[in-house]
């Protein structure tokens, strides 16, 4: 099997698993308990909090553990909206956010908030002038993702943070795809709230965190016990938190080297596809993109068919076609960068890991070439283009 869907989830590393094991059946104490038996669990949670914070230049006490990225996004956006409503009810976001942010914004619109969805350019970068122009006296939150989950484009966080700060507006970033994959620093980038998810960087599923800058007084997500400084009640998930901490530590240690390795392989993949598959295009920014992300469109074919045939060759990938989104529309991200529907339906996302090899990429490129040719041979769109003389077939 060749796993090229690391943006969907990653393999949990063995070191993470080993670190988690003692906290299921041996050190099972509630880390909030007072007796000494709970000491080991409490200490492990503290350690994890430190490691998680270190990767973004935050303080431990600014990390609030959650059950994942979507929870963190929901909490950040809803709580910031509630916190700011005395000042105003206007939120600014981008058109290419993950649904965890987009659908939360749509929910808030029903509650009487106004949301401006700022456009992105053809490479998926937010238009900073449009962002700045969207600011009103009643704007209370800017939420823009750190890097896009589909096309991998990295947003200019530092610039957005500066704009937010200048206008005294809270800045939240959904860093689910970026945390552990590219350098992030909450102070340098002026980030007030940051969401991340453990399983996107070789940690366990069902665990994430929200960074809340000290002094940002957004409300609690879950009321109950005093866990997470009374902002997110519920017994701490010790093994998962410990696992995410170790994953953060490993990610920090390997970051520079992994980024270089992944980016080199990604660029090799992009070069080969664009050179060897006619009528293909790269989606997203050529250089300001996640080191492990490649996203292509192949004209005249549809993504789900492509995925099924790749699967038959043991290759795991994903697509932004309507058939994979469960609706009739292709991905909102691909439409936002200006692709017509029929081209957006033929998208393919390949996301690498630090373990991906050149041999795997070569095998995948050969498979794609053969599958695209096969699907085009049965495509009426291809037939029409040849008849019209739009394309030349050797």
Q: Which residues are catalytic?
A: 323
CA distance 182 to 389: 44
CB nearer another protein, residue 275 or residue 341: 341
Contact status, residue 173 vs residue 186, Cβ threshold 8 Å:
no
Identity of the residue, 223 or 341, whose beta carbon is nearer to another protein in the bound complex: 341
The interface region with another protein, picked from 61-69, 136-144, 272-280, 328-336 by CB under 8 A, is 328-336
Task: Please report how close the Cβ of residue 311 comes to another protein at its closest, in angstroms.
Answer: 10
Q: b/e per residue, 137-168, with b = 16+ CB within 10 A?
A: eebbbbbbbbbbbbbbbbbbbeebbebbeeee
CA-nearest of 335, 330, 323, 265 to 294 is 265
Distance in angstroms (rounded) separating the CA atoms of residues 128 and 151: 19
At residue 39, what are phi and psi to the nearest 5 degrees?
-60, -40
Pick 264 or 308: Cβ nearer another protein: 308
Among 198, 243, 330, 354, binds another protein (CB under 8 A): 330
Smallest distance, Å, CB 107 to another protein?
24
Residue 30, beta-bridge partner list:
none
Contact 267, 135 (CB under 8 A): no
Contacts to another protein from residues 354-383, by CB under 8 A: 377-383
Distance between CA atoms of residues 273 and 54, nearest Å: 38
Count the residues of the shown chain that bind another protein, applying the rule CB under 8 A. 25
Which one among 345, 364, 371, 385 touches another protein, defined by CB under 8 A?
345
Cβ proximity to another protein, 177 vs 385, nearer residue: 385
Neighbours of 327 (CB within 10 A): 10
Cβ–Cβ < 8 Å for 94, 126:
yes
Report the relative pairing of strands 139-143 and 170-174 from DSSP bridges. parallel
Q: Which of 70, 74, 202, 305 binds another protein (CB under 8 A)?
A: 305
Q: Does 150 bind another protein (CB under 8 A)?
A: no
Token pair belonging to 94 = 């981008």
- Strand 347-351 with 293-298, pairing: antiparallel
Stretch touching another protein by CB under 8 A, among 21-29, 46-54, 177-185, 326-334 = 326-334
x/- letters, 274..303, toward another protein (CB under 8 A) = --------------------------xxx-
Nearer to another protein, 316 or 323 (CB): 323
User: Which stretch, 107-115, 175-183, 252-260, 316-324, contacts another protein (CB under 8 A)?
Assistant: 316-324
Q: Pick the binder of another protein from 187, 341, 370, 373 (CB under 8 A).
A: 341
- CA–CA distance, 267 with 152 (Å, rounded to integer): 13
Tokens 């085009």: give the residue: 376
Choice from 58, 144, 297, 322 touching another protein (CB under 8 A): 322
If the CB atoms of residues 31 and 330 are measured against another protein, the closer one turns out to be 330
The residues that touch another protein, with contacts defined as CB under 8 A, are 300-302, 304-305, 308, 312, 321-323, 326, 328-330, 340-342, 345, 377-383
């Amino acid at each position: 099997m060749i796993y090229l869907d690391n943006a969907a989830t990653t393999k949990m590393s063995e070191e993470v698993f080993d670190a988690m094991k003692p906290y299921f059946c041996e050190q099972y104490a509630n880390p909030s308990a007072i007796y000494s038996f709970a000491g080991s669990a409490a200490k492990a949670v503290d350690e994890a909090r430190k490691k998680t914070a270190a990767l973004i230049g935050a303080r431990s006490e600014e990390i609030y553990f959650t059950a994942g990225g979507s929870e963190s996004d929901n909490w950040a956006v809803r709580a910031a909206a509630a916190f700011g409503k005395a000042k105003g009810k206007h939120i600014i976001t981008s058109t290419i956010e993950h649904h965890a942010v987009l659908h939360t914004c749509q929910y808030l619109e029903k509650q009487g908030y106004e949301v401006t969805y700022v456009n992105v350019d053809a490479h998926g970068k937010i238009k900073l002038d449009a962002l700045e122009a969207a600011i009103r006296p009643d704007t209370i939150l800017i939420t823009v993702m750190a890097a896009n989950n589909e096309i991998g484009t990295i947003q200019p966080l530092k610039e957005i943070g500066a704009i937010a700060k200048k206008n005294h507006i809270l800045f939240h970033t959904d860093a689910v795809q970026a945390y552990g994959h590219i350098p992030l620093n909450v102070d340098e980038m002026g980030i007030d709230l940051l969401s991340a998810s453990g399983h996107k960087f070789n940690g366990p599923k069902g665990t994430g965190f929200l960074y809340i800058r000290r002094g940002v007084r957004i409300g609690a997500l879950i009321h109950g016990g005093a866990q997470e400084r009374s902002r997110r009640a519920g017994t701490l998930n010790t093994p998962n938190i410990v696992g995410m901490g170790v994953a953060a530590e490993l990610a920090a240690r390997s970051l520079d080297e992994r980024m270089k390795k992944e980016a080199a392989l990604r660029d090799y993949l992009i070069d080969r596809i664009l050179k060897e598959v006619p009528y293909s295009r790269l989606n997203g920014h050529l250089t300001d993109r996640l080191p492990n992300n490649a996203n292509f469109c192949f004209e005249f074919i549809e993504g789900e068919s492509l995925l099924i045939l790749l699967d038959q060759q043991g290759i795991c990938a994903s697509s932004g076609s309507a058939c994979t989104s469960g609706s009739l529309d292709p991905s909102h991200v691909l439409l936002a960068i200006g692709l017509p529907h029929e081209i957006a339906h033929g998208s393919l996302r390949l996301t690498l890991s630090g373990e991906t090899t050149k041999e795997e990429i070569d095998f995948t490129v050969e498979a794609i070439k053969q599958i695209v040719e096969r699907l085009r041979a049965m495509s009426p769109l291809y037939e029409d283009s040849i008849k019209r003389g739009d394309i030349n077939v050797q």
